[in-house]
Amino acid sequence: MKFQFCLGVLLFFARGVAAQPFQLPTANHAIFEPGGQERYFVPTTGKTWVSGTFGCVRSDGWQMHEGLDIKCLQRDRTGEPVDPVMATADGVVAYVNDKPSLSNYGRYIVILHHIGGMEIYSLYAHLSEVQSGLRVGRAVRAGEKIAVMGRTSNTRERISKERAHVHFELNLFYSDHFNSWFKRRFPGERNDHGIYNGENLVGIDARLILLAEHEEGTRFDLLNWIQHRPDLCRVLVRQTDFPWLRRYPMLIKQGALAPGERAAGYEVALDFNGLPFELIPRPAGSFKGAAKYQLLSVNEAEYTKNPCRRLVTRQGSRWELANNGLNLLDLLTN
Ligand SMILES: [Zn+2]
């Protein structure tokens, strides 16, 4: 008993020391090699490797790409990609879409991880094959093979053999009430993936995270990284109870209310991709007028750099929440 306990403690520390929050999802490690980007990221046709990374990297900066398009290393005789795809961290399978025709992600897998107390969802798309026996609810270990790379998708323009890649995302999760929001937002449209629709997952920059943890090793702190995103804007919302607050309480700023004061809502800081990375409780006196949302500030430098989600818009000299921003806040707080 005692021996087992000691072994357990030892293993815990061994894992703790070796633990990196995220491992690379394929055998391609060129991201860490000087000048290796071209060998790691798959660009869109005629563009540079940057178009295969996370951010406003498509359509001249006006289209968001929420994942990393990672190059294949191995092909079969017919030129199809056959790289094993591995879980990026320990976790539990949250969703498997085994019907490529139902998504522009094609065949895809979502895995739930708990990192620094936070729910993080990794997503692997365009797969040719899901590892047999991999079902929702199954635990997986970091580095465990979960699938084979492919080029499945339901988009009209198919992914060419040359561009074969796995599309890899790291996400946080907006809302358990996604389905009712989707019905209101897209009446009559099908949602085949329920709460694991890509629209309910908000991406964080997996390239920057992988590079930071490669550089910082065990000092890398994902929560701290998320808390230090540049803000695109800050918005007051008149809501004191919504799923994000319960799922990500570590993002709520403590000590913002005076003793005895009660929160009537939250000041929410959004990054350019719509990630609510800081939530500050605010008392009733902070809210003016009857509007559901009140735009407090816009970081113009950040908007100039990363405008593609179109969350805010300038009307003359005034900034306003754009439709995308309003829809996102509805999803977040519904
Ligand atoms: Zn992609």
pLDDT digits (tens, 9 = 90+) for 190-199: 999 999 999 9
pLDDT digits (tens, 9 = 90+) for 91-116: 999 999 999 999 999 999 999 999 98
pLDDT exceeds cutoff 50 at 81: yes
52 CA distance to ligand 1 middle (Å): 7
What is the crossing angle of helices 178-185 and 323-333, to 10°? 150
CA 311 to CA 232: how far, in whole Å?
Answer: 9
- Beta strands (DSSP E) in the chain are 55-58, 63-65, 68-71, 84-86, 91-97, 107-115, 118-127, 129-130, 139-140, 145-148, 165-173, 201-204, 233-237, 265-270, 276-282, 293-298, 312-315, 318-321
pLDDT exceeds cutoff 70 at 15: no
pLDDT digits (tens, 9 = 90+) for 126-183: 999 999 999 999 999 999 999 999 999 999 889 999 999 999 999 999 999 999 999 9
157 CA distance to ligand 1 middle (Å): 13
pTM: 0.93
Q: How confident is the model at residue 310 (pLDDT cuts 50, 70, 90)?
A: very high
42 CA distance to ligand 1 middle (Å): 9
pLDDT digits (tens, 9 = 90+) for 205-253: 999 999 999 999 989 999 999 999 999 999 999 999 999 999 999 999 9
Q: Give exposure, 78-91, as e/b (b: 16+ Cβ within 10 Å).
A: eebbebbbbbbbbb
161 CA distance to ligand 1 middle (Å): 14
3-state secondary structure at position 195: helix
141 CA distance to ligand 1 middle (Å): 24
282 CA distance to ligand 1 middle (Å): 38
